[in-house]
Amino acid sequence: MKNSVLELYTRIFPGSPRFLVRSPGRVNLIGEHTDYNDGFVLPLAINYAVWIALSPLDENRVELYSGDFDQQLGFDLGEIRNRKETWLEYIKGVAAHLINKGFNLKGFQGVIQSNLPIGAGLSSSAAIEMAAVKAFSGVSGFSIGVKEMALVGQKVENDWIGVNCGIMDQLISAGGVRDHAVFIDCRSLDYRPIRIPGNALIAILDTATRRELAHSAYNERRRQCEQAARFFNIASLRDLSLELFLENRSKLDITVGNRALHVISENQRTRLTTEKLEENDLKAAGKLLVESHRSLRDLYEVSSPALNQISEAALASRGCYGARMTGGGFGGCAVALVDANKAENFQEDLYRLYRNVSGLEPKIYLSSAVDGTELITV
């Protein structure tokens, strides 16, 4: 990727770029639909990323060519308007929010290219946002920490793009740690790297289906969680104990109760999974992944037939400790914890089993965990 982005730059602009930015996508191992409930998540940054090659401009302007869309677009930093039209909105949104926070931004020209599948639930938009923050920090000469970067990205999604997401995707894209998953407390935004045991492999399983109606269902789940928190008079479901929930469950709407039970139990599972990984107990960690999937399927109702089929196919494949849907749901990818010595057997079985049951061709990415967004001076 690195060379192809450098080459692309020299094809579009004279000279060579001053900076390179690499910003990874993510897969979440466990802790789903917990981030906007102030809960816990355990994602990792993956070796598929958005890249930008860029050089400062004297003008107060951004000129960017997208290799993925074969399109060059630009905007003036002094006059940023939200048109909600193209991939450029992510860059404009980041610029607008950084300016709002008091950063003095300089312009740049550059190219952007990604090998992250778009819309597969691997957070390509968070990766673009974090790449844009780093690109501006490079040309403008300021430094910015991981938490602050993530908050800027989340604000862009919420206010500029209109997607009501939590903080997980941006925080892991910016703060990923090589060979580690990262346990994030989504209330304090404190995070702790958890080493992925050497005998384990994280497989990302693309169902070849894409999310549909995901936005409205996502927002509905958020509202139901808020409704449950209001009922218990707490700031968020993070603060609800299982005991108190069970004592009062019958007074809650059944669906709202199911949503709350998912969040409470998922937070517990996420904490337990970190312990099991640290103890190198892959069997126990895998079991927790399977429980998470059931809870997302039956209580939170964000799975899909394809996600159920691929998770079951994974479980029936050689070398699999556990599997579950990952990300927002309704399509996209599942994640599996696999015995590193059986990677080939696993892929062979999964491919055949999923294709037989669904008629679709899965894509399998065996990903290592990589560091978060980085700025490289060329």
When computed from its CA atoms, the radius of gyration of the chain, rounded to whole angstroms, is 21
- Minimum distance between the CB of residue 79 and ligand GLA, rounded to whole angstroms? 30
Catalytic residue, chosen from 35, 70, 159, 169, is: 169
Q: State which of residues 30, 165, 261, 307 lies at the interface with ligand GLA (CB under 6 A).
A: 165
Asked whether position 327 contacts ligand GLA by CB under 6 A, the answer is yes
* Token output for 153: 């990205």
- Minimum distance between the CB of residue 327 and ligand GLA, rounded to whole angstroms? 5
How far does CA 133 lie from the centroid of its chain?
Answer: 17
CA 95/CA 153 separation, integer angstroms:
10
Residue with Cβ nearer ligand GLA (35 or 89): 35
Residue with Cβ nearer ligand GLA (77 or 204): 204
CA 220/CA 215 separation, integer angstroms:
9
Q: Which stretch binds ligand GLA (CB under 6 A): 7-15, 69-77, 140-148, 163-171?
A: 163-171
In the window 169-228, what residues touch ligand GLA (CB under 6 A)?
Answer: 169
In the window 32-51, what residues touch ligand GLA (CB under 6 A)?
Answer: 32-33, 35-36
The residue among 287, 373, 289 whose CA lies nearest residue 30 is 289
Q: What is the DSSP letter of 238?
A: G
In the window 63-122, what residues touch ligand GLA (CB under 6 A)?
Answer: none
Q: State which of residues 116, 168, 171, 202 lies at the interface with ligand GLA (CB under 6 A).
A: 168
How far does CA 159 lie from the centroid of its chain?
Answer: 18
The residue among 62, 57, 126, 73 whose CA lies nearest residue 96 is 62
Residue with Cβ nearer ligand GLA (35 or 63): 35
Residue 179: active-site member: no
The residue among 274, 317, 325, 273 whose CA lies nearest residue 295 is 325
Q: State which of residues 138, 166, 175, 332 lies at the interface with ligand GLA (CB under 6 A).
A: 166
Q: What are the two backbone dihedrals, phi and then psi, of residue 134, each rounded to the nearest 5 degrees?
A: -65, -40
Residues in the site for ligand GLA, rule: CB under 6 A? Answer: 32-33, 35-36, 165-166, 168-169, 327-328
Residues carrying an active site annotation: 169
